[in-house]
């Protein structure tokens, strides 16, 4: 089986810093090759994922708007599909690329919905014809009204490549994007209420991120609440592993929180809000705590220091490793090639989820 993977055009694969979708595509590509499959990857030219890649794609821009640029994405999609004529299956991780699947009329096309099925994105997925759509959490799938999902596969990371941390830094950490839905303000307020130091690493590149930071987060910084910038992979893992807890008070129904499984892989428990996919990732009282409100979150943050870090690592290895993610994708690909391209809506209870 030769599999074509199409990544978005905005960030290299793997990403040098922030980039959840690109991290997942990188792990899937490497994992498929390690499992003995041929892979052709369409990604920005400055990507470094060590698999065969589609030539002629542009370098990722140094900064891209949140919703990207339609002309750039269309050019990327056309180049990508033109090179996929000899693959057995295309797995497209862009948003609008599958709308152009007629460029490979005889090739099954799969797309993973990395974002929410909200008023902006749901109509795009409803417009996709003869495309198998995968979700990334049960909570996200439950919101896919009128969109026939073919399955749900949780993300994974290479847990074995993540160093185990000792959690002895004496601080909690926050990791994400400087935006209201990620909850950096709530993280700072919670840490101050608990009386514990907090180190915050976050993407801060777009104008709206800077405006939010200046208005809502910067005033809360002090000697115990520090913003340390946007970190690369190794520095990010060091931050997580040295912290006694990841503070992740998301303020939206996040489809999947990759940072949570990265934290668990280092052995660091997660304290956050029970929004979106969080209850599917965090086992309350074992690998972290999920609470609502500043005082309950502050109490949970203090209690997290007593949780078993070995259990956190073990859960990450069992439920969120790349090998599990790859094996579930391979099983899905084989079922797709052997039969119908999507499950009826009535059969959504059969979707895969760890």
Q: Are 173 and 167 in contact (CB under 8 A)?
A: no
Q: What is the pLDDT of residue 105?
A: 81
Global pTM value:
0.91
Mark the ranges of the chain whose per-residue pLDDT is less than 50: 65-67, 341-354
Cα gap 221→187, rounded to integer Å = 11
Q: What is the pLDDT of residue 345?
A: 39
Same domain, 176 and 311: yes
Contacts of 193 (CB under 8 A, 6+ apart): 294, 295, 297, 298
Q: What is the pLDDT of residue 340?
A: 60
Strands across the sheet with 109-112, in order? 38-42, 2-6, 89-92, 109-112, 131-135, 149-152
Same domain, 138 and 197: no
Same domain, 23 and 110: yes
Cα gap 330→28, rounded to integer Å = 10
- Between vectors from CA 180 to CA 175 and to CA 181, what angle results, nearest 5°? 75
Q: What is the pLDDT of residue 347?
A: 40
Q: What is the pLDDT of residue 43?
A: 96
Cα gap 320→265, rounded to integer Å = 9
What is the span of the domain harbouring residue 217? 160-318
Q: What is the pLDDT of residue 63?
A: 53
Same domain, 230 and 268: yes
Cα gap 271→171, rounded to integer Å = 13
Which of 278, 252, 274 lies closest to 263, judged by CA? 278
Q: What is the pLDDT of residue 342?
A: 44
Same domain, 142 and 164: no
Same domain, 286 and 344: no
Q: What is the CATH number of the domain that holds 249?
A: 3.40.50.2000
For residue 220, how far is the Cα from the chain centroid?
A: 28
Task: Give the chain's domain count.
Answer: 2
Which of 82, 110, 78, 90 lies closest to 9, judged by CA? 78
Same domain, 327 and 310: no
Same domain, 138 and 53: yes
β 109-112/89-92 pair status? parallel
Same domain, 103 and 225: no
Same domain, 94 and 107: yes
Q: What is the pLDDT of residue 69?
A: 59
Same domain, 242 and 333: no
Same domain, 146 and 169: no
β 198-203/225-229 pair status? parallel
């Amino acid at each position: 089986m030769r599999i074509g993977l199409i990544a978005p055009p905005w960030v290299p694969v793997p990403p040098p810093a922030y980039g959840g979708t690109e991290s997942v595509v990188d792990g899937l590509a490497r994992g498929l090759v390690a499992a003995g499959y041929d892979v052709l990857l369409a990604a920005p030219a400055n990507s470094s994922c060590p698999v065969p890649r589609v030539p002629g794609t542009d370098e990722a821009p140094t900064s891209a708007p949140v919703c990207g640029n339609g002309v750039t994405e269309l050019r990327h999609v056309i180049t990508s599909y033109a090179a996929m004529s000899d693959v057995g299956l295309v797995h497209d991780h862009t948003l609008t690329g599958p709308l152009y699947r007629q460029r490979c009329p005889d090739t099954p096309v799969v797309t993973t919905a990395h974002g929410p099925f909200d008023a902006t994105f749901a109509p795009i997925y409803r417009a996709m014809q003869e495309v198998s759509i995968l979700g990334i959490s049960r909570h996200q799938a439950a919101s896919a009204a009128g969109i026939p999902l073919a399955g749900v596969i949780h993300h994974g990371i290479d847990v074995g490549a993540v160093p185990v941390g000792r959690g002895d830094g004496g601080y909690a950490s926050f990791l994400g994007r400087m935006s209201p839905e990620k909850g950096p303000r709530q993280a700072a307020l919670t840490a101050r209420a608990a009386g514990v130091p907090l180190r915050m690493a976050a993407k801060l590149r777009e104008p709206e991120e800077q405006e939010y930071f200046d208005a809502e987060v910067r005033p809360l910084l002090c000697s115990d609440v520090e913003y340390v910038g946007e970190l690369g992979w190794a520095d990010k893992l060091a931050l997580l592993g040295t912290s006694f807890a990841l503070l992740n008070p998301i303020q939206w129904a996040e489809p999947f929180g990759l940072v949570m499984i990265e934290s668990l892989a280092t052995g660091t428990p997660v304290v956050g809000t029970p929004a979106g996919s969080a209850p599917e990732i965090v086992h309350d009282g074992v690998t972290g705590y999920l609470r609502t409100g500043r005082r309950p979150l502050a109490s949970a943050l203090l209690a997290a220091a007593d949780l078993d870090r070995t259990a956190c690592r073990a859960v990450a290895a069992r439920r969120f490793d790349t090998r599990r993610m790859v094996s579930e994708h391979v099983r899905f690909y084989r079922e797709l090639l052997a039969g119908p391209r999507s499950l009826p809506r009535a059969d959504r209870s059969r979707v895969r989820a760890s």
